[in-house]
Amino acid sequence: MSKKIDAYKLYLFLVGATAFSFSLFSTMSGVYRVDVGLTALELVLVGTMLELSVFIFEIPTGIVADVYSRRLSIIIGYGIIGLGFILEGSFRLVGVIWLAQ
């Protein structure tokens, strides 16, 4: 007999874990980027790359959500965000930090 996880409890856990992770990452990434030696202009460009990538990936994510499922779209989105976090922390290069956005 398999136990199903209540969808509402899973949602609350996911929202809480996501909020905690993004808060932790945004604080740590600011310190990390300054430690890497990014200038003020490069920090602004990192933010610009982040916003540009959000804008560009909204359309394919919406298509995946409409054609296949919203669940798959969310899983892919979290996977890409996680890969970006890992990529940014793995290399201390400005170009890689921009790419990770």
Residue 1: the pLDDT is 57
Residue 98: the pLDDT is 87
Residue 42: the pLDDT is 92
Tens-digit pLDDT profile for residues 42-69 = 999 998 998 998 898 888 888 988 999 9
Residue 13: the pLDDT is 93
pLDDT averaged per 10 residues, the chain (length 101): 81 92 89 91 91 89 90 89 89 87 83
CA pair distance 25, 21, nearest whole angstrom: 6
DSSP string computed for 34-49: HHHT--HHHHHHHHHH
